[in-house]
Structure formats: C-alpha cells, structure tokens
Amino acid sequence: DGSEIVDIENYVRANHEEPDPKMFGIAKDKNVVLISMESLQNFVINEKVNGQEITPFLNDLVKDSYYFPNFYHQTAQGKTSDSEFILENSMYGLPSGAVFFTHAGNQFPNASPKMMGENGYYSAVFHPNNKSFWNRDVMYDSLGYNKFYDIDSFSVTPENSIGWGLKDEYFFDQSVKYLKTLPEPYYAKYITLTNHFPFSLKQEDEIIPEWNSEDGTVNRYFTTVRYMDESIKKFFERLKEEGMYEDSIFILYGDHYGISENHNEAMSKFLGKEITPYESAQLQKVPLFIHIPGQKGKVMDQVAGQIDLKPTIMHLLGIDTKNTIKFGNDLFAKNQDNFVIFRDGGFVTKDYVYTKSTCYNADGTEAEDKSVCEPYADRAKTELEYSDKIIYGDLLRFLGNEQNQTGKVNNE
Ligand code: GP9
Ligand code: MN
C-alpha cells in the first residue's frame, strides 16, 4: 500500500517554505530556456588564467542575473543524468548507479516537465548525443517530455565536432530552427557537451591558450570552459537577433565537477592553497544563474543545491509545489535553510561543512566539538533515505490517482 509515503509527505510538508509573493509567478507563461553547462565549476567565475578571463560572458551575466555563488552540485555516479534527475524531481540520485537506468519505469507525477505540461507548457530537450545514452529516451518519457532533439536532429561532421561530438557553438546554432517551431510557452533544456573530460578542443577554437601546469587535464579545462562560455554568448546574441530573448527566462547551471580529486596538485597550484577535504567540498560549487530579461542582477549568497531548482523554477512560473514531494526549497523564499546535502551524507550549512567524516567550521578549521554536526548529519541521512525509499519502492505511484496531476497525496 502507500502508507510509507505518508511519513515522507509529512516530513516534506514540515520543510516547505512559502514562496515570496513578489517573485511567485513573475515569469508566468514565459518560455524557460535551461542550459546545463557540462562540468562547469564555480571556481572559474571571475577568475583569470595567464591574465585572461576564463568566463567573460558568464562574468557579465552575473551583473544582470540572480547569481548563486554558494550553489552545489549533488550528483553521484549518474553524473549529468543525476543532475537532470535532481533538477526535475527535487529528489536525490541513488547512492550507486544511475536512477535514469535503474528506475526509468517508475512514475514521476511531480516531475517538472509533467507539472509544466499541466500548466500549458511544451517541453523539449536538446542534446547532441545518442538518445539512449544514460537511457534518456526512456527516462524523458517518464518525466513527461514532449520531444527529445538527440543526435539525429543535428548535422554532425568531422569539421564541426570534437571529443564527445558536436561542438557547442554548432549545437546551439543548429537548435534555433527547432526552438522556433516549439509551441509557446516552452520549456527547453539544453545540455552542452564540449566541456567534457578529457577537454579536447581544436587549436582554431582555442580562445585562450592552455594553462601551463604539469597537469594537461587542468590546463585544457580552462580552454574548453572559455570555448563553452563563448558558445553560450553567441546563443544569447542569436536569440536576441531572432526576437526570442525577451519572452524567455534563462536558467544556467553547472551539472557536476569537471576536475576530480586526482588533480589536486594542479588545483592547489591554481588556487594557491592546499586542497584539504574541506576545500574539495568547496570545489563542488557549480555556478547557478537565473536570468530574467529586464530584471537587475543580485548575488544570492545562501547555501543551496540542485535539489532547490525545481521548486524555485516552478514558483517563478506561478506553479505551486506545496502538495508535491520535494526535498529542496524555493531559493527566493524569505526563509532559507542554508543546508545542502551531498549524496555521500556530507553536507554544508552556513556554519559547518561535514565531509569525509570530518566536521569543519565554515572557515575551514576543524570543529572542536564534533557533535555540532550531528543533528545535521541525522537530517541528511533521513532525507537521503526517504528519497531512496521513494525510488526503490516506486512510491509516487501511490499519490492519489485523480489528484496525481497536481501531485497531491490522497490519504484515503
Ligand atoms: C553525455 C553527456 C555527458 O550525453 O551528458 O555525460 P556525463 O559523463 O557528464 O554524465
Ligand atoms: Mn556531465
């Protein structure tokens, strides 16, 4: 039966934060263009390498966007697919494997493409890879997507591709003809590819030279990040030219880290400090921009994570999430819990960082009294267990049938 979901529902309801009425519905019926930026970590924002900006476009975007510098990825083995899952369900990925593969047959009545669909939105994904990679074709149906523009929708030649496939610039460019045809309002999710390990780029596409450490991966990373930044800039310019910019809001975020702990030596050289477990946790920050044409920029410095994206986006569109299962909260709500949970049970709050069984103060020193981390560690454990229970048991199928559409739980 569905009794297990009742406890979870009570937990979720107790943690719900009411949206700020000033922001709720501010982007109602606007198109939503979401860009998942491959492997983009926050440490490159407003940074230079060899005296040159790494992300000049994104640095400009900070000025007229809501920019979240303390926003963390929460992915595990499912990498990009985990970020997609977290983004659209406000639930956690699994402790091992990828939910996109293992539980694509589950019911996801609260998934954001579904909820948007019930509110008149058409939803599409653009990603120039094989449709079955990460089992996306199957999972996208379960999440309620109307259309997936996979590799077969793009013209890929040796000239316009590198590494994993179509270069970002051509990817965005070729997508526009499809984007134009989507019924409005639309939700369009773009997943970039060029800034993917091993960060290969043709010489002619190098806008800034590689860095000069001993570590080729880190050296190339800056160059492919710079390329992706330029590709997004050109996409924005094109949308403006086409008159497709004003009626949309833009959500840009990094999917997960690009530089693993195997590269701590070069990273230590770049950042000028030792990469302790505390610093490794800091490096899990990925940038988040919420860009609403016509709105002024604001730095939002709360501690947040990918789990918060769904309620945040839904509320901007004026779609309520109060009666849905979710583990994140609206980043524009007045009350912010400043709590982000990693898949391994680690977490970050305003005051503490808990990682690799060590409790740090926010400044990176070790907490003298470890017990200060315990209540948060318990909450992290509970929340991850609840999320896992839902996925393993396919529990969302017990949400009331006729009320499924709004995600309301039927307690009868
Ligand atoms: C592949 C792309 C990259 O389609 O999403 O996958 P990743 O290795 O980052 O999960
Ligand atoms: Mn990825």
pLDDT tens digits for range 374-402: 999 999 999 999 999 999 999 999 986 43
Q: What is the pLDDT of residue 400?
A: 63
Mean pLDDT of 6-19: 96
Tokens found for residue 273: 């400090």
Is the pLDDT at 405 greater than 50? The verdict is: no
Separation CA 15–CA 322 (nearest Å): 10
Is the pLDDT at 68 greater than 80? The verdict is: yes
78 Cα–ligand 1 center, Å: 9
Q: What is the pLDDT of residue 2?
A: 76
The residue whose CA is least distant from atom 3 of ligand 1 is 80
Which atom of ligand 1 is nearest the CA belonging to 127?
4
pLDDT band at residue 135 using 50, 70 and 90 as cut-offs: very high
Q: pLDDT for 235-255, tens place per residue? A: 999 999 999 999 999 999 999
Residues with catalytic roles? 80
Is the pLDDT at 406 greater than 80? The verdict is: no
The residue whose CA is least distant from atom 6 of ligand 1 is 80
Instruction: Report CA-CA distances (Å) from 113 to 116, 255, 337.
Output: 5, 18, 26
Give the residue, out of 134, 135, 197, with the most ligand 1 atoms within 8 A of its beta carbon, to mutate for a pocket test. Answer: 134
Q: H helices within 180-297, ranges in order?
A: 216-241, 264-271, 277-282
As beta bridge partners, residue 285 has 72
**Shortest-distance ligand to the CA of residue 82:** 1
Q: What is the pLDDT of residue 4?
A: 87
* pLDDT over 70 percentage in the chain: 97
82 Cα–ligand 2 center, Å: 9
258 Cα–ligand 2 center, Å: 8
Mean pLDDT of 128-141: 98
**Shortest-distance ligand to the CA of residue 98:** 1
pLDDT band at residue 411 using 50, 70 and 90 as cut-offs: very low
> Rounded to two decimals, what is the model's pTM?
0.96
408 Cα–ligand 2 center, Å: 32
Is the pLDDT at 228 greater than 70? The verdict is: yes
Is the pLDDT at 156 greater than 80? The verdict is: yes
Measuring from each residue's beta carbon to the nearest atom of ligand 1, which residues come in under 6 Å? Answer: 79-80, 129, 133, 191, 196
Q: pLDDT for 275-295, tens place per residue? A: 999 999 999 999 999 999 999
Please provide the average confidence, as pLDDT, over all residues in the chain.
96
pLDDT band at residue 3 using 50, 70 and 90 as cut-offs: confident
Which atom of ligand 1 is nearest the CA belonging to 78?
10
The residue whose CA is least distant from atom 9 of ligand 1 is 80
Which atom of ligand 1 is nearest the CA belonging to 81?
10
CB 21 within 8 A of CB 209: no
**Shortest-distance ligand to the CA of residue 191:** 1
318 Cα–ligand 2 center, Å: 29
Is the pLDDT at 408 greater than 50? The verdict is: no
Per residue in 232-269, is it b (16+ CB within 10 Å) or e — as a string?
bbebbebbeeeebbeebbbbbbbbbbbbeeebbebbee
The residue whose CA is least distant from atom 5 of ligand 1 is 80
**Shortest-distance ligand to the CA of residue 127:** 1
161 Cα–ligand 2 center, Å: 17
Q: Which residue has the tokens 């809501």?
A: 66
Is the pLDDT at 31 greater than 60? The verdict is: yes
Is the pLDDT at 404 greater than 90? The verdict is: no
Mean pLDDT of 19-28: 98
The residue whose CA is least distant from atom 4 of ligand 1 is 129
- Under DSSP, the state recorded for 336 is -
Which of these ranges, 78-82, 314-318, 404-408, has the smallest mean pLDDT?
A: 404-408
Give the residue, out of 73, 79, 81, with the most ligand 1 atoms within 8 A of its beta carbon, to mutate for a pocket test. Answer: 79
Is the pLDDT at 409 greater than 50? The verdict is: no
Q: What is the pLDDT of residue 330?
A: 98
Which atom of ligand 1 is nearest the CA belonging to 164?
1
